[in-house]
Copies of this chain bind each other. A is one copy, B any other.
């Protein structure tokens, strides 16, 4: 279907996308500028996910001519379809369910009715609504960002300047590969049994309400989805080789933060088996149990009707390797430099296909970096340092160094935190942090009211790291990341002179101010 001269509204886009998804024989969706004929694009973006869409939009904004090809009938990739958007919807539900459970029959909260809560209903809520985000991104990309695209058509890379899709051949001076990743499936028996899911198949295929969950893996996805499952009332066991949040895919996890977060999961009744290995998934026609080798060496069989894989993702590199011979590194991902250039001249790789965190900021900014370099800018994107987050029933955010990392290289490390950095303080019933987002907890169940820590270099007075568990600070960590990592850094004096919006989710501004007067800083 050629939509070039049609200005579909959001409802029309929604209908077209839904029809295309429902019908395997549906037509490609073409938004191609007819003039000039047979163009050579500045870049063909193979994959219109976060990286491809942002990269193409930036290139177009600069005056370049990009083309996006995607096999899905919508732009935006897995995020709105299967990944970040459902995750955030589920995590918001988890937060709410968690609060309703803790306050069951207290204050204005009714007695919690576990029969109302379920995974399946939330999956269906997501499925009923996800088309709107797809429709918006197609609309925006065409009408506001003026980017050409061919959707609902699988691209075939012919060579480094040629790609075919929808029966057409497209030529480009450069290729930008943004072909995404898929969930890792471990090498254990039984994973083909009905009842084994990952975050993709969960939203695409779940058709029953699980009663009991075993999660294989200890990734962010394992923690986030596990916390959600458990909050709905589906008793959840996480089987993880590494201690949670101590996996090599997460950097800068402060130990106190980790203990608060993982302790909070256990406090809510989740079973977390660390140092444990899955041996087999067992069943007959459907999942019945998971056999696990515990840290002690003994085996345990855990009955379950629902297994969820949370082992991370693996990039989709096969076509790029076969067609172009791009170099792949020891992690299985395409090797790219800081300009996103691969081993093949004129071929760029972005997003989850390359090393680094499989996070939105990297996907989008790597796409933009490729675009800007193609358009002649000399720009490097260094994503060795970045802020990070995950959800349990809390929002957990961190940036910069942990206390231990700071102490490893510095003599004079100052910690400012809530609850305070004091041994022997009688903290039972101490409603601290008394913070926006945890006020009800602070006044009713103080031990649930969160944790926050600022790590400061006593010599330079610069903030080295910030760590938070609570609600409502995630947005701020984007700006803290910028401030901490700019060349001049952020001193406790500058931070302490900012204008707080009290009562705030994290108290870093005002706590810094209470110490900033000191020439020689001390803990708080």
Chain A residues with CB under 8 Å of chain B are 9-11, 54, 57-63, 79, 84-85, 88-89, 92-93, 96-97, 99-100, 107-110, 113, 116-118, 121-122, 125-126, 128-129, 132-133, 136, 139-140, 143-145, 232, 359-361, 364-365, 368, 371-372, 383, 386-389, 395, 397, 420, 422, 425-427, 429-432, 434, 436-437, 439-440, 442-444, 446, 471-483, 494, 497-506, 509-510, 513-519, 524
Residues A475 and B472 in contact, CB atoms below 8 Å apart: yes
- Known contacts A89-B440, A361-B501, A386-B499; 5 additional CB pairs below 8 A are A57-B517, A59-B517, A145-B514, A365-B497, A476-B478
Shortest CB distance A107–B (Å): 6
How far apart are the CA atoms of A439 and B85 in the complex, in Å? 8
Residues B498 and A477 in contact, CB atoms below 8 Å apart: no
Q: What residues of B have a CB within 8 angstroms of the CB of A85 in the complex?
A: 434, 439, 503
Pick from B9, B113, B518: contact of A110, CB below 8 A. B113
Q: What residues of B have a CB within 8 angstroms of the CB of A79 in the complex?
A: 502
How far apart are the CA atoms of A88 and B504 in the complex, in Å? 9
A and B contact pairs by CB, cutoff 8 A, 23 listed: A10-B427, A54-B510, A54-B513, A57-B517, A58-B516, A85-B503, A88-B503, A92-B436, A108-B121, A110-B113, A125-B443, A361-B499, A364-B500, A364-B513, A372-B517, A388-B501, A472-B472, A474-B504, A475-B501, A475-B504, A476-B476, A478-B499, A481-B499
How far apart are the CA atoms of A427 and B135 in the complex, in Å? 12
Residues A61 and B518 in contact, CB atoms below 8 Å apart: yes
> Which of chain B's residues has its CB closest to A499's CB?
B361
Residues A58 and B517 in contact, CB atoms below 8 Å apart: yes
Pick from B88, B360, B498, B510: contact of A479, CB below 8 A. B498
Shortest CB distance A90–B (Å): 9
Q: What residues of B have a CB within 8 angstroms of the CB of A232 in the complex?
A: 108
Looking at A11, A497, A498, A502, which has the most chain B CB atoms within 10 Å of its CB?
A: A502
Q: What residues of B have a CB within 8 angstroms of the CB of A514 in the complex?
A: 54, 57-58, 61, 144-145
Residues A431 and B133 in contact, CB atoms below 8 Å apart: yes
How far apart are the CA atoms of A251 and B192 in the complex, in Å? 61
> Which of chain B's residues has its CB closest to A510's CB?
B364
Q: What residues of B have a CB within 8 angstroms of the CB of A516 in the complex?
A: 58, 61
Pick from B364, B474, B515: contact of A61, CB below 8 A. B515
Residues A498 and B476 in contact, CB atoms below 8 Å apart: no
Shortest CB distance A190–B (Å): 31
How far apart are the CA atoms of A500 and B50 in the complex, in Å? 13
Q: What residues of B have a CB within 8 angstroms of the CB of A62 in the complex?
A: 517-519
Pick from B10, B96, B439, B500: contact of A92, CB below 8 A. B439
Pick from B360, B442, B509, B519: contact of A129, CB below 8 A. B442
Residues A122 and B107 in contact, CB atoms below 8 Å apart: yes
Q: A88-B503, A144-B420, A479-B476 are in contact. Are A108 and B116 (CB under 8 A)?
A: yes
Shortest CB distance A124–B (Å): 10
> Which of chain B's residues has its CB closest to A432's CB?
B136
Q: What residues of B have a CB within 8 angstroms of the CB of A359 in the complex?
A: 502
How far apart are the CA atoms of A404 and B60 in the complex, in Å? 30
How far apart are the CA atoms of A494 and B483 in the complex, in Å? 11
How far apart are the CA atoms of A84 and B54 in the complex, in Å? 41
Residues B500 and A446 in contact, CB atoms below 8 Å apart: no
> Which of chain B's residues has its CB closest to A368's CB?
B513
Q: A499-B481, A518-B61 are in contact. Are A475 and B434 (CB under 8 A)?
A: no
